[in-house]
Amino acid sequence: MKPQLILLGAPGSGKGTQAARLVSELGYEHISTGDLLRKEIKSGSELGQRVQGIMDEGKLVDDHTVLELLNSNCDLKSNQYIFDGFPRNHEQAKLLDGEVLKDAKSRAVYFEIDLDMLAARLINRRTCSGCGEIYNLLSKAPAKEGVCDKCGAELTQRKDDNEETVKTRLQVFKDTVEPVLSYYEAEGRLGRIDASAAPDAVFDSLKKQTEL
């Protein structure tokens, strides 16, 4: 079995876009802690109500809440996962190994990109409310404004994709990423790809990483 895949990268670096392609072309299961948290908010659950304000501000939800959500939504015995959005800090990297992956083999891939490119990507992102397809008004616009090309459902904008919150999200990323990279680098489990390239080129680099 191939190693479980961990995608590391700043907000807007393309983790969700590439994960969708890995799912459809290579048969991975995609688990995004951001998506799981947004689902909790939408359902109005107690957990959702607790985390909503934190996510709206662009800050990190506490490690154990996210770990619990992750653990109850994955089954490593039968699936090969892409972990997207977890870990976000050194503590979460240790928790992922110790409490989720245990003895499963894993490899982390860092989406390298100049952070100055990301605000424009994020503010222009739209997501399908039906199938989750990710669009961009600048680089991947839908054929008909506000409507998903794939399933015809309405496109929506994420609440945290506004200028103010994006600034905070990028700052949080800057403040937390280095120890995570060092953690995987020290164990020889880290690959790096150029995430500023066009989506097809990013996918080719990522695919190579899954073959190592």
Q: Out of Mg ion, ligand AP5, none, which partner does residue 209 contact, by CB within 5 to 8 A per kind?
A: none
9 binds, among Mg ion, ligand AP5, none (CB under 5 to 8 A by kind): ligand AP5
Q: For residue 26, which of 203, 150, 196 has the smallest C-alpha distance?
A: 203
Is 126 catalytic? The answer is: no
97 binds ligand AP5 (CB under 6 A): no
- Number of residues interacting with ligand AP5: please give it, by CB under 6 A: 36
Q: Which two tokens stand for residue 210?
A: 């899954």
Q: Say how far apart CA 47 and CA 182 lie, in whole Å.
A: 31
Q: Which is nearer to ligand AP5, 188 or 196 (CB)?
A: 196
Tokens in use for 98? 């110790």
Q: Is 38 labeled as catalytic in the residue annotation? A: no
By the 10 Å C-beta count (0-12 exposed, 13-18 middle, 19+ buried), 13 is classed as buried
Q: Is 14 helix (H, G, I), strand (E, B) or coil?
A: coil
- Residues 133 and 79: their CA atoms lie apart, in Å, by 22
Smallest separation, CB 136 to ligand AP5 (Å): 3
Residues 7-36 that bind Mg ion (CB under 5 A): 16
192 in active site = no
Report the partner that residue 30 touches, choosing among Mg ion, ligand AP5, none (CB closer than 5 to 8 A by kind): none
Question: Is residue 202 a contact point for ligand AP5 (CB under 6 A)?
Answer: yes
121 is catalytic: no
Helix (H, G, I), strand (E, B) or coil at 76: coil
Cβ–Cβ under 8 Å, residues 182 and 87: no
Residue 40 interacting with ligand AP5 (CB under 6 A): no
Residues 145-184 that bind ligand AP5 (CB under 6 A): 160, 169
Which backbone phi and psi does 45 adopt, to 5 degrees?
A: -65, 165
Name the active-site residue from 15, 38, 121, 126: 15
What residues make contact with Mg ion under the rule CB under 5 A? 16
| Catalytic positions, written as ranges | 15, 88, 125, 158, 169
